[in-house]
Structure 1
Amino acid sequence: MEETIDLREYFFILKKKMWLIVLAAVICGVISGLVSFYVLKPVYEANTTLIVNKEVDDKETQMTTTDDLNYVQKLALTYGEIIKSRTVITSTINKLNLDMTYEELSGLVSVTNVADTQIIKISVQNKNPQIASKICNTIPEIFSTEVQRIVKASGTEVIDKATIPANPIKPNKKMNVLIAMVLGVMVSVFIIFLREALNTKIKEPKDIEEKLGIPVFGVVPKF
C-alpha cells in the first residue's frame, strides 16, 4: 500500500511540474533544431560498387568451384585494404587537386565487403556532393591500376558508378530534435525528483508523522 501511495505522489509531483517538463522539452528541441538547421553543415555520401575478377587460363572456363569463390572473396578483403592505402588515397588527392591530407580523405572513405560475395562497396562522405561523387569514381580508377602493380593479379570492374547525391545523410535534423526533446524531458524529470528528495520542508500533516514520528491530533485550518 505504501508503494502505491509513493507512486501516486510521484504522479502528482510530475503533474504539478508538467509545465516545467514541457518547457524543457521545447527549449531543448528548439536549440537542437537551430543547431541542426543553421550550424551543422550537411554531409553527402556517394557510393560505388566493384566486383573482383579472377583470371583463368581458358577463357571458356567459368568460375564454379567453392575454392575459386573463397579465393576471390579473400582477394576482395585484400583489395579493400589496398583501396584505403596511402598510395591510392594520395594519388586520388593529387589527381583531383584536393586540399586534403591523406588522413583527412582516408577518414571520409569507407570500404565494405558485401558478405559472401566478391563485391566491394566504396562510400565517400563530403560536404560537397559533387566532390563526394568525383572522389568515389576516381578511387576505383586509380585502384585498378595500382592493384595490377601491387599484387600482380586480376583487377576489378565497376558495377555502379557513383552519382551526385541529392540529399545529405547527416545531420538527421528531425531525429536530432526528437532526441533533444526526450533528453530535455528526462533531465527535467530527474531535476524535479532530485529537488523533491532534497526538500526537507514539512508540507502536509502526514509529513510530521513520517519524518518526526509525532502523532497529529488536529490541524488548524487556514482562513
Structure 2
Amino acid sequence: MEEIIDLREYFTIIKKKWFIIAVITLVCIGIASVYSFFIAKPVYQADTTLIVKTEKAQGAETISNDQVNASQKLAITYGEIIKSRTVLDEVIKNLRLKMSYYDLLDGISVSTVTDTQIIKVSITSTDKNIAAAIANEIPKVFAEEAMRITDANGVEVIDNAKVPTTPIKPNKKLNIAMAGVLGIMIGIGTVFLMAFMDNKIRVPQDVDIDLGLPLLGVVPEEL
C-alpha cells in the first residue's frame, strides 16, 4: 500500500511542476536544433568497392578453393596496405590535398565483405567532392603499390565512388529526439530535486510523513 501512495506522490509532483519539465525539454530541443541545422558541418561519405583477382593455376581450367581462400586472406592484407602512409601520401600528392596523412587516415574506413574477396573503402569528408575524389584515387595508387609490395594478385574496381548528395552526419532527427529524451530526464530530475529540497509543511499529513509525529489537531483558517 505504501508503494502505491509513494507512486501517487511522484505523479503529483510531476503534475504540479510539469511546466518546468516542458521548459527544460524545449530548451534542450532548441539547442540540439540550432547545433544540427546551423553549427554542425555536414559530413559526406563516398564508397568504392574493389575485388582481389583470383588467377588460375597453370594448366588448370577452374579455380580451386585454396586459391579462393588465399585471395580472401590477401584482401585483408590489402586492406591494411590501403591505409599505409605510402598509399595515402601519394593520394594527397596527386589530389593536392591540404591535409596530413593522419587527417586522411581518420576519414578512411576499409572493410572486407565476409567470405569474399571484396574490399570496401569508405571516405568521409565535409566536402562531398573531395570524398568522391579520394575514394576514386585510392584504387589507382593502391593497385600499383599492392603489386610492388606483394607481387601477388591484382585488384579491380567493382564500383567507382559517386559524389554523395546526402550527408551521413549530423542526423538531425536523431539529435532532436535524443535531446527531447534528455530534456525530459533532466526536467524530471530537477523537479524531484526541488521537491526533495523543499522541507515546508504544507498539509497536515506532512507532519506525520516528514516529522514522524502524531497529528493532534488542526487549527482552521479564519473565514
TM-score using structure 1 length: 0.95
CA distance in 2, matches of 1:131, 1:70: 35
Q: Say whether residues 1:208 and 2:221 are aligned partners.
A: no
The letter for the 2-side match of 1:26 is: L
- Cα distance between partner residues in 1 of 2:77 and 2:59: 25
| Local SS of the residue matching 2:15 | helix
**Match for 2:130: what amino acid?**
I
Cα deviations by residue, 1:129-162 (Å, 9 ceiling, x for unpaired) = 1110000000011000000000000111000000
Q: Secondary structure at the match of 2:32?
A: helix
> Does 2:165 correspond to 1:155?
no
SS in 2 for 1:33: helix
After superposition, the Cα gap between the structure-2 partners of 1:15 and 1:59, relative to the gap in structure 1 and judged at 3 Å, is farther
**1:188 corresponds to 2:165:** no
Corresponding pairs, count: 222
2:12 counterpart residue number: 12
Q: CA deviation at 1:71?
A: 1.2
1:107 is matched with 106
State the distance in 2 between where 1:82 and 1:177 align: 40
C-alpha contact 1:41 1:127 (8 A) present in aligned 2: yes
Matched, 1:25 2:25: yes
Cα offset, 1:221, TM superposition: 2.9
* C-alpha separation in 1, matches of 2:72 and 2:57: 20
Gaps of 5+ in 2: none
SS at 1:204 equivalent: coil
Structure-1 separation of matches of 2:44 and 2:23: 34
Q: Which moved more, 1:42-51 or 1:203-212?
A: 203-212
Report what 1:143 is aligned to. Answer: 142
User: SS state of the match for residue 25, structure 2?
Assistant: helix
- What is the RMSD of the two structures over their aligned residues, measured on CA atoms? 1.3
1:55–1:153 Cα contact (<8 Å) kept: no
SS of 1:120 mapped into structure 2: strand
Does the CA contact (< 8 Å) of 2:44 and 2:164 recur in 1?
yes
C-alpha separation in 2, matches of 1:85 and 1:120: 15
> Unmatched 5+ residue regions in structure 1?
none
Task: Tell me which residue corresponds to 1:81.
Answer: 80
- Matched with 2:42 is 42
Give the share of equivalent positions with the same residue, in percent.
48
Determine the structure 2 residue equivalent to 1:93. 92
State the Cα distance separating 1:60 from its structure 2 match.
6.0
The whole-number CA distance in structure 2 between the counterparts of 1:85 and 1:105 is 11
Q: What one-letter code is carried by the residue in structure 2 that aligns with 1:11?
A: F
Equivalent residue, structure 1, for 2:124:
125
Indicate conservation of the 8 Å contact 1:45/1:125, yes or no: yes
Query: 1:59: Cα distance to partner?
Result: 7.6
Q: CA deviation at 1:211?
A: 2.6
Q: Distance in 1 between matches of 2:209 and 2:188?
A: 24
Partners of 1:32 and 1:86 in 2: how far apart?
A: 38
